[in-house]
Structure 1
Amino acid sequence: MKRNHKSFLIFLITVIAIVTHTLLNSSLNKRYFNLPEFRKKLQNYAGQLKWVISDQVSPATTMIVKGPRPTTEPGIIFLQTSSELNPKPLVMCSIESAARLNPNKPIYFFMKAFTGNVSAFREPEYKAIPLLSSFKNVIILPLNFKELFNNTPLAGWYEKVDPSKEVYWIHVLSDACRMTSLWKYGGIYLDTDIISIKPLEFGNFIVAESEIHSSSAVLGCNRSHPFLENCLTDFVEKYNGADWGQQGPKLITRNLKKWCGTDNLNQFLNKECKGIEYVPKYLFYPISHTVWKHYFEKNRWNNNNDAIEKEFSKSNAVHIWNFLSGHQKYDIKGSQSLIEYFYQKYCPSTYETLSN
């Protein structure tokens, strides 16, 4: 046992030396290692170091070391609070599109049921995890609620709440996780039914969803931002699990009004309010939830790319409204619909997995 510990310590010192050399050597990238011997040894010790190593990368000679939690670099955050291990194509497309359009930003995908070992999920049984982990900037992480809420204003609430008595538990839990993760790690939070169509600029911003409500499906904030801390405190103080949206859009709206000192948020559209920009809904909601079926109308595209590009030229992303569209089945491939266009252009790897 002593010899094993000694060997491990020697290897650990070697790792530190190599990493230090790498950081000082501008000819090597800070994240990627093409050293075969280092790769082999690191894989042998992966279990002891508790690192997740993905072989699903391109080029094949590149290895990515993915930590058990986000790094200090803010990224784009996606969450899956259900126990699903085979996310639907829309989830895959949302994450793939964000990864492709923001190649220099980490894409964090938290999954409740994920064990932390990418290699345990192989095709054909699993599609999403192998596909998403093939992108060098996608980092799939376990979602541990107790760990996430620890040392936050929601820690006490989570210990006391009884999910079996909650009417909208999945929604409430999702609202809690998105604000907490953004407060802890910073960056941009996106719902998993939002397909990116442009690179995203990081900053402090909230999106208008309607004339009277702001959105909680898209949020941009720096780490430990006081606005989000106010939201987390409000979450606990005004908690009402029986009111859908109380901890979601309503919470963001009432706290933004308080932050800006106004009952009319529209006066701040395209403007900053104490360091937070209030952006118009067309940036992320070009098609309203009341007409969500437009995304699935057949023969609307008809290979007229220019017309679609013009129609959505002002948008950064499109919200597909899965809480409405997810209850129905639609053919995507060959439908010549808007959704087929977005899949084919912005998440082509996911598109290839779709059946005709």
Structure 2
Amino acid sequence: MVRLDAFGRIRFMSVILLFILLCVFIVQNLPQSENDIQSTKSLVVADEKLMKPIEIEENIEKGKKSTKLTASEKLLKPIKIDKKIEKGKKCFQTPKDFHVDDIEFFADILNAEIQPNPERSIFFHETSCFKNEMINMTARQACAVESAAKLNPNRTIFILFASPTGFTTNQSEMPITEALKSYPNIHFRNVDFETYSAGTPVEDFHHSGKLFRSSYLVSHMSDYLRYLSLFRYGGLYFDLDVVVQQNLDELPPNFSGVQDSAVVAVGAMGFQQNPIAHMILELCLKDFAVNHRGYVWGSSGPAVLTRVLKKICREKSIQKMTPSKCWGFDVLPRKNLYAIHYSNWKHFFNKKLTNETLEQTSKSPVVHLWNKLSIVERIKKSEKRTAYEVIAMKHCPKVFEASGTYF
């Protein structure tokens, strides 16, 4: 036997210790299963994507500067994607052979016998999720539709529902619904997002499921549909919190309106069905797909049209946008469509300001009531009227009468 001196024994023990440590390291770092391997790959891919800062326009209405989200802030997002998509799709996608007793569903917009007449149609969209599949419009929403139908009998009015909706067959309809059904130019339609998006610039975006992940799904669905309907048919689009006060034939063929110094609003828009207008809408849809941020409320509505117009007009100032600069598109002054600024929405409900508010809005073809802010303000009918009541009595009389004690 070879005897080692003290120095040799130390070297020998060091080699043995290093060998043991190497074995332990290898064992600890070996994947335990195929799932571990896939998880590791997923984390690497997610991390590579999330390491790139995301530039967003947060609340463009208030003119805030862009904000960067770090990778760590978004790291857990992929874990929740599938459940969130399925939750969104459950409400807004119609299963095959879908049937509910006592409900006669509205025809699909693409398959209905009466189709939108290009440039002569007016669109409203209801993107709420109706759990019982029965139409359930508020008096104020119905007022918007009646006012458009009453003052524009030569146009077809289409109310598009994002979730499967219909009339009940076993009982009388709500008085408000009956009021709308009395107009022959009002048509109720459902939308199948799969077919409605097909063949458009947002077809791939729709299949990605990004829209259904939105934290503001109802609002973003409304933004999405307005551009898509106008891209398909041309015509006019209005939010459901407006009242139409005039025949709309005098409006420019391609238009939207100034909301404030920083934003071109999209609560009232018109587009012809011609190549130039179609190209503007195509740019809007592409911008929507690229810049949609489901966690930012204002990322997909006015922000889209404002960005597109700044590009095609080559003009940063909204006040300097003219048809000659903007491919024939008119950006109307605030007095035309948004005479009462959203910061003054209470003027419509203040009886002391009735005459002043009526005077301010008297020449506006459309009045915007800012439902996002005013929805909590109920009006109890009385002899002394608010401006909103006076406007509604004149332009949506059937709905106003059917609404009962409150409007």
Q: What is the alpha-carbon distance in structure 2 between the residues aligned to residue 51 and residue 91 of structure 1?
A: 18
CA distance in 2, matches of 1:262, 1:121: 57
Alpha-carbon displacement from aligned partner over 1:60-111 (angstroms, at most 9, x marks no partner): xxxxxx7364244631100001134210011110000011111101111112
Distance 1:309 1:171, change over 3 A: closer
Aligned length: 288
C-alpha distance 92-196 of structure 1, shift in aligned 2 (>3 A): same
Aligned mate of 2:400, from 346, 351, 354: 351
Q: What secondary structure is seen at the aligned counterpart in 1 of 2:248?
A: coil
> 3-state DSSP class of the match of 2:268?
strand
Rate the CA distance shift 1:332–1:238 in 2: closer, same or farther, 3 A. same
Residue number among 307, 310, 313 corresponding to 2:362 in the alignment:
313
Q: Shift of the alpha carbon at 1:333? A: 4.6
Letter in 1 for 2:238: L
| 3-state DSSP of counterpart to 1:209 | strand
Stretches of structure 1 that go unaligned for 5 or more consecutive residues are 1-49, 53-65
**Which residue number in structure 2 is paired with residue 94 of structure 1?**
144
Q: Which of 313, 323, 339 pairs up with 2:372?
A: 323
Q: Find the residue that maps to 2:201 and give its secondary structure.
A: coil
Q: 2:254 aligns with which of 201, 204, 208?
A: 204
In structure 2, what residue type is equivalent to 1:348?
P
- TM-superposed deviation, 1:252: 0.9
Aligned counterparts of 1:333 and 1:144: Cα–Cα separation in 2: 43
Tell whether 2:196 aligns with 1:143: no
Specify the alignment match of 1:110 in structure 2: 160
Q: TM-score, normalised by structure 1?
A: 0.74
* 1:227-253 deviations in Å (ceiling 9; x for gaps): 010010111122212222211111111
Partner of 2:160, secondary structure, is strand
Please tell me whether residue 180 in structure 1 is matched to residue 233 in structure 2.
no
Looking at CA atoms only, which structure, 1 or 2, has the larger radius of gyration?
Answer: 2
Cα distance in 1, alignment partners of residues 237 and 389 from structure 2: 24
When normalised by structure 2's length, the TM-score is: 0.65
Question: 1:127 Cα deviation (Å)?
Answer: 3.4
Provide the C-alpha distance between the structure 1 equivalents of 2:197 and 2:190, rounded to a whole number of angstroms.
14
Mapped pair 1:338 → 2:387: yes
- Write the letter of the residue equivalent to 2:351: K
Q: CA deviation at 1:51?
A: 9.7
Residue equivalent to 1:9:
none
- Cα distance in 2 for partners of 1:200, 1:327 equals 30
Between the aligned partners of 2:170 and 2:142, the Cα distance in structure 1 is 15
**Partner SS state of residue 218, structure 1:** strand
Alpha-carbon distance in 1 for matches of 2:289, 2:258: 24
In 1, the alpha carbon distance for the partners of 2:352 and 2:385 equals 5
Matched to 1:354, the amino acid is: S
> Secondary structure of the residue that 1:230 maps to in structure 2?
helix
- 3-state SS of 2:155 partner: coil
Deviation at 1:121, TM superposition (A): 8.1
Tell me if the contact between 1:73 and 1:106 (Cα under 8 Å) persists in the aligned partners: no
Contact 2:121 2:155 in 1 (8 A): yes
CA–CA distance in structure 1, aligned partners of residues 202 and 170 of structure 2: 32
Deviations 1:305-326 (A, max 9, x none): xx76643232111100000011
- Runs (5+) with no aligned partner, structure 2: 1-104
1:153, CA displacement in angstroms? 1.4
Q: Is the 8 A contact 1:206 1:279 kept in 2?
A: yes
CA distance in 2, matches of 1:144, 1:333: 43
Alpha-carbon distance in 2 for matches of 1:272, 1:105: 30
Aligned CA distance change for structure 1 residues 165 and 311 (closer, same or farther; 3 Å):
closer
Tell me, yes or no, if the aligned pair for 1:333 and 1:340 is still in contact at 8 Å: no
